Amino acid sequence: MKAARLVLLLSVGFLLRSLALFLWGNGGLGDYRKVEAGRAQLSANIEELKRINSGLRREVESLGSDPERVALEARRLGYFREDQRVVRFQGRTSPPGSYTLGALVRVRVPRERRDWPWKLAGIFLPLAACTVWSFARKSRQAGPQQLNEDRRR
């Protein structure tokens, strides 16, 4: 009977330890949620890059097929035909490039959590509970016998 209770207490302790590690331990539910959030961020970044890529493809196609577009881009870069006049204004800067780069996604690596307190608690709490329970049981059994001995005196 005592062995069965010890096994039961150890099983409950193991179950509680496993549940705690599942929820808060390394690779647990909290880490899973962080990974899912990172995956969603990466998916959004990939969609953004696809959108930028399709815009750049359209621009390359227009540069390859439209001579007016090529002339406009050459003027923007500072190249002009010999018969063209260039008027520059002082204090005016050229507009920045129109190319957009994708957003850089940085994955923050969490520092490693220590699971040893949970492991120790999972081992020692059932043993402590079993010890306390056995002392309480012995004191309950000793209590009525002690009362009978006191009455006899």
Instruction: Kindly provide the residue ranges of all beta strands, DSSP E only, lying in the chain, ordered along the sequence.
Output: none
Instruction: Say whether pTM exceeds 0.75.
Output: no
pLDDT at 116 over 80: no
More confident residue, 114 or 137: 137
Instruction: Compute the Cα dihedral for 29, 35, 41, 46 and give only its sign.
Output: negative
15-24 average pLDDT score: 80
Comparing CA positions, the residue from 45, 46, 58, 44 lying closest to residue 99 is 58
- What contacts 67, CB < 8 A, 6 or more positions away? none
pLDDT at position 147 over 60: no
- Percent of the chain topping pLDDT 90: 5
Written as six digits, the tokens of 52 are: 């930028």
| Domain residue ranges in the chain | 2-80+116-152
* Tokens (6 digits) for 84: 């063209």
Residue 50: pLDDT band (50, 70, 90) is very high
**118 contacts 24 by C-beta, under 8 angstroms:** yes
